[in-house]
Amino acid sequence: MAEAFTVVVTGKADGFAQDIATGAHHLRADEPVAAGGTDTGPDPYALLLAALGSCTSMTLGVYARRKKWPLEEVTVRLQHRRVYLEDCEGCEEAPRRIERIDREIRLVGPLDDQQRASLLAIADKCPVHRTLTGTFEIATRLVS
């Protein structure tokens, strides 16, 4: 089992702004003004996309370094949206919704087509991608 780490999130109950601490790093999360927040930080979905994007870029960099490929830079652009699907025409069930992340990857460097294809395949193996698409559970308990 991998070593656990802790992220602590603290916020006042009268708003959306949250202080996030992880090790020596401190971040802030909030909601946009249009959603009732004060826009003092990215919203939770932006943080989720940032986690996936940074993990993707890091994974591609590590892989290219190991292979000694001429990858110079990676840019990952992500968007989250909700997609409504019809299960089948005429079914009695209502349309259902799935969460979708669109991820575009730009690779800079004199890579050949095979290297680019390999890096694209490796993107799906980054740890955050595997967590989001795998089976996991969130165990929640109240503490005092």
Does pLDDT of 121 surpass 90? yes
Share of residues in the chain with pLDDT > 90 (%): 83
Per-residue pLDDT of 66-93, as tens digits, reads 999 999 999 999 999 987 765 445 555 6
What was the pLDDT predicted at 92? 58
d(CA 15, CA 21): 18
Does pLDDT of 95 surpass 90? no
Topology, domain 43-133:
GMP Synthetase; Chain A, domain 3 (3.30.300)
For the chain, which residues make up each domain, given as ranges?
1-42, 43-133
Assess contact for 111 and 69: CB atoms under 8 A: yes
pTM to 2 decimals? 0.87
Does pLDDT of 25 surpass 90? yes
